[in-house]
Amino acid sequence: MGNGFQLLDIILFAMIAAFLVFRLRGVLGRRTGHQRRPPGNLSDASREAPSEDQILELPDRSNDTDSGVLDEEKANDPIAMGLLEISKADPQFSTSDFLKGARGAFELIVKAYSDGDEKTLKNLLNDEVFENFSTVISERKGAKQVLETAIIGIKSADIVDARIDGRTAFVGIEIISEQINVLRDKDGVAIEGDDNQITEVTDLWTFARNVRARNPNWILVETRSPD
């Protein structure tokens, strides 16, 4: 009978031990957010989650226009494709900033041309356009004529062309402005235009910039009127 009790005790202790092992395995087998995966080999170690001080937050590019993903409509738009190529070559390029700068450059160039300010024009135009402007200014000065120009406002400025050729980016814009232009002779008499007449003027200007250059400024390389 004593042996029977001993056997029962052994069975009872075995059951208790099995229960404890099961509980330990249940606890030790779980992974909490603070535990690291034990690196069994190099590939396992490389997948180990970084600590908080190792995490680098990536910028939110969900609203970037140059993310490289274009819908079908934009993919078939040469202007959109051109702007994308420019932004790839020059990550600092911004369409909105460019248009803002182009508006400012337009007003500055028109005023300098009217005033005969060749020094200012020299910094804003390429050699060919500057030569054309300078020729007209010289003729005007030779005839002792004065051009008075007032930009009442810019109604619109839209990109109509965008491309990149080698290192040079080209962006063409159509600017519609309201102006008052009066050309006076040496006696101050108006020979063209009217002080009281506001004229809507459409200009097609092309700006260019070497995307590899440190100078961020764009220069005017072509001017024309719509056909």
127 or 227, which is more confident:
127
Burial class (CB in 10 A: 0-12, 13-18, 19+), 161: middle
The string of pLDDT tens digits covering residues 16-30 is: 544 444 443 333 333
Three-state DSSP at 139 gives: helix
Task: Please state the φ and ψ torsions of residue 105, each to the nearest 5 degrees.
Answer: -65, -40
- pLDDT band for 162, please (50, 70, 90 cuts): very high
Task: Please state the φ and ψ torsions of residue 181, each to the nearest 5 degrees.
Answer: -125, 125
6 or 96, which is more confident:
96
Lowest mean pLDDT segment, chosen from 33-37, 112-116, 121-125, 191-195: 33-37
Kindly list the structural domains of the chain, giving each domain's residue range(s) and its CATH number in brackets, ordered by start: 72-224 (3.10.450.240)
